[in-house]
């Protein structure tokens, strides 16, 4: 199933095609394919080129997959149980050179995930990010050291059968995708002054 963005202005085909499904096929992505995703993340920009992102991957049926699955909140477990790949994204809180707080660590890590998501689409893979997980559980189960913060869990896989989803997830899978209007998020000269007013 495709849920392409209905855009007001033309955008590149991968960004248009990307969305966050809940129906995943059981097919395992190949290691090289997954490495292409991490390659895209690796080449994302970051403050001072710190590259604060770290990824902990679990591929079914490895024990790592089950550990990551156990960190998810129940509503996400309902559908993420089908995802063949799960991973935890962490960011390093301090700069490596002088130990000062890196205020953009999470921002930079989000950028890396954005690059990864677009490369996933390029490989016909889908990414679904989840803030609904227990970070403390991830720290314990995955032995994440001090100074690193788990930010999200991500489900990755090829698209599956939306009919197999239980409600309310099935209904959400078919629901149209919505966005704020450009004028609500892009301002001209002053905060709140829409850059563009659409008719
Ligand atoms: C940081 C972050 C946390 C999210 N947490 C969840 C989550 O816990 N469960 C879920 O089903 N979707 C989660 N999502 C997915 C969003 O709901 C989804 O990206 C949004 O509705 C836009 O839909 P689209 O990605 O299909 O365009 C999360 C997305 C992001 C970026």
- Could you report the per-residue pLDDT of 47-89, keeping only the tens digit for each? 999 999 999 999 999 999 999 999 999 999 999 999 999 999 9
Using a 6 Å cutoff on CB, does residue 130 contact ligand 1? yes
Closest to 122 (Cα-Cα) out of 29, 24, 50, 52: 29
Atom 10, ligand 1: residue with shortest CA distance: 130
CA of 131 to the centre of ligand 1 (A): 8
Range of the domain at 43: 13-185
Using a 6 Å cutoff on CB, does residue 76 contact ligand 1? yes
Q: Work out whether strand 53-59 and strand 85-92 pair parallel, antiparallel, or are unpaired.
A: antiparallel
CA of 92 to the centre of ligand 1 (A): 22
Residue at 161 is within a domain? yes
Residue at 57 is within a domain? yes
83 in Cβ contact with 128 (< 8 Å): yes
Using a 6 Å cutoff on CB, does residue 102 contact ligand 1? no
Residue at 5 is within a domain? no
What CATH number is given to the structural domain containing 161?
3.40.109.10
CA of 198 to the centre of ligand 1 (A): 27
Number of domains forming the structure of the chain: 1
Closest to 37 (Cα-Cα) out of 136, 139, 158: 158
Q: What digits encode the pLDDT tens for the residues 82-119?
A: 999 999 999 999 999 999 999 999 999 999 999 999 99
Using a 6 Å cutoff on CB, does residue 138 contact ligand 1? no
For residues 42, 157, 33 and 41, what is the CA-based torsion angle, rounded to 10 degrees?
A: -10
pLDDT band at residue 196, thresholds of 50, 70 and 90?
Answer: confident
Q: pTM to 2 decimals?
A: 0.97
**CB contact set of 17 (below 8 Å; sequence gap of 6+):** 2, 4, 5, 121
Residue at 8 is within a domain? no
Atom 22, ligand 1: residue with shortest CA distance: 20
**CB contact set of 73 (below 8 Å; sequence gap of 6+):** 130, 132, 133, 134
Residue at 6 is within a domain? no
Burial string for 97-129 (b: 16+ CB within 10 Å, else e) reads: eeeeebeebbebbbbbbbbbbbbbbbbebbbbb
- In whole angstroms, how large is the CA radius of gyration of the chain? 18
Q: What digits encode the pLDDT tens for the residues 114-159?
A: 999 999 999 999 999 999 999 999 999 999 999 999 999 999 999 9
């Amino acid at each position: 199933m495709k849920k392409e963005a209905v855009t007001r202005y033309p955008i590149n085909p991968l960004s248009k095609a990307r969305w966050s499904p809940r129906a995943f096929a059981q097919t395992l992505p190949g290691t090289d394919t997954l490495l292409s995703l991490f390659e895209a993340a690796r080449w994302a920009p970051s403050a001072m080129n710190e590259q604060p992102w770290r990824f902990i991957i679990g591929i079914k049926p490895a024990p790592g997959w089950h550990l990551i699955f156990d960190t998810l909140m129940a509503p996400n477990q309902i559908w993420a149980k089908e995802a063949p790949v799960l991973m935890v994204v962490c960011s390093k809180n301090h700069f490596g050179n002088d130990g000062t707080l890196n205020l953009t660590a999470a921002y930079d890590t989000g950028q890396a995930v954005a690059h990864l998501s677009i490369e996933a689409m390029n490989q016909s893979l889908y990414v679904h990010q989840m803030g609904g997980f227990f970070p403390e559980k991830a720290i314990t189960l995955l032995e994440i050291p001090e100074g690193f913060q788990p930010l999200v869990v991500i489900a990755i896989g090829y698209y599956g059968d939306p009919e197999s989803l239980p409600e309310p997830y099935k209904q959400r899978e078919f629901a149209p995708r919505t966005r704020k209007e450009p004028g609500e998020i892009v301002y001209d000269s002053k905060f709140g002054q829409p850059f563009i007013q659409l008719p």
